[in-house]
Amino acid sequence: MQTLTIIQPDDMHLHLRDGEALKAVLPFTARQMGRAVIMPNLKPPVVSVADAMAYKARIMDALPPNSTFEPLMTLYLTDKSTPELVREAKAAGIVAFKLYPAGATTNSDSGVTDLFKLMPVLQEMAKQGVLFLVHGEVTDPEVDIFDREAVFIERVMKPVLQQVPDLKVVFEHITTADAARLVMEAGDNVAASVTPQHLLLNRNDLLVGGVRPHRYCLPVLKRESHRKALVEAVTGDNAHKFFLGTDSAPHARSLKENACGCAGMFSAATAIELYAEVFDKAGALDKLEAFASKNGARFYGLPENPRSITLIKQPCPVEAAIPFGDGEVLVPMRGGEQVAWTVQY
């Protein structure tokens, strides 16, 4: 039986929600990840240092007993964000600001309407060493949803990198060959997180045979050629610029399976197992540890986790549904099916 022991991974892009939902999903991440970068798009969003510290306290209170998991807090960038807020965030230990273009994804109504008006804020982030996490899509209604990321690169990402060349940027949940190429060609101040769904699935998996709401996420799944390009990126010569970020985004089944089903895939229940499949199929299991446990920590300026986990190549069933508070359930990625690897807890 094949086994693989790696340094305990980190999830550099995670949605935990709040309240009962937080309590339901947090244990899945806490049992396999050492740390996670927590997304701030709550209702209302996490826009101040006080908001972030209060949210962190709720996360810590919801952890299982004796857990060593550490949440890394972020702030939601808005049109009202200021350089002074950046300095306050740095002093409080907040690791990053997150850009949500207004209307781009779940709870993004308070997002930025014109990033170029916030150049003083981005310049202060570069000065303070606070990371800039980017949901890289335009929301222009004339742009095809499958082209939003590529257009964002030309209209926004490249000009920002030219105007603030020292800004440390994470291009979040990249989905295209265009984004992978940008990251590989950029300086060492630019990296990217990659999700399990964008490494394992393409848009046929979402649309062929009927719309599959539990595979609907934003950014939306792309062509097979883009999926292959992402796999090549995380396993290739510039793989040090890419790291694990699940974008695990829990939604109640009732909100996914309706006429206006919301975007997001919950992968935290079997995150590292899904990534192991990707690297195994690519013949690159020897590169999984760097992607999952080293690259992200290095880019964020963090030490590697002191613990390790062991994966066994042995099929494991995935629960069809998980309790989600208030009588609701959520359907995890691969729910009712199985993963090819199992974590030895």
The pLDDT tens digits of the residues spanning 59-98 come to 999 999 999 999 999 999 999 999 999 999 999 999 999 9
The model's confidence at residue 326, banded by pLDDT at 50, 70 and 90, is: confident
Residue of 247, 280, 286, 326 marked active site: 247
Q: Is 188 one of the annotated active-site residues of the chain?
A: no
Q: Is residue 171 part of a domain?
A: yes
Q: Is residue 211 part of a domain?
A: yes
pLDDT at residue 284 tops 80: yes
Given this model, what pLDDT does residue 191 score? 98
13 is known to lie in a ligand binding site: yes
212 is known to lie in a ligand binding site: no
Given this model, what pLDDT does residue 1 score? 67
**What's the domain count of the chain?**
1
Q: Read off the tokens for 338.
A: 């199985």
Q: Is residue 258 part of a domain?
A: yes
CATH code of the domain covering residue 136: 3.20.20.140
263 is known to lie in a ligand binding site: yes
pLDDT at residue 104 tops 90: no
d(CA 342, CA 176): 29
Q: Is residue 312 part of a domain?
A: no
Burial string for 249-284 (b: 16+ CB within 10 Å, else e) reads bbbbbeebeeeebbbbbbbbbbbbbbbbbbbbebeb
Q: Is residue 70 part of a domain?
A: yes
Q: Is 299 helix (H, G, I), strand (E, B) or coil?
A: helix
Q: Is residue 249 part of a domain?
A: yes
Each residue's pLDDT tens digit, 262-283: 999 999 999 999 999 999 999 9
Q: Is residue 322 part of a domain?
A: no
Q: Is residue 96 part of a domain?
A: yes
Contact 282, 298 (CB under 8 A): no
**Domain of 29, in residue numbers:** 10-265
pTM: 0.96
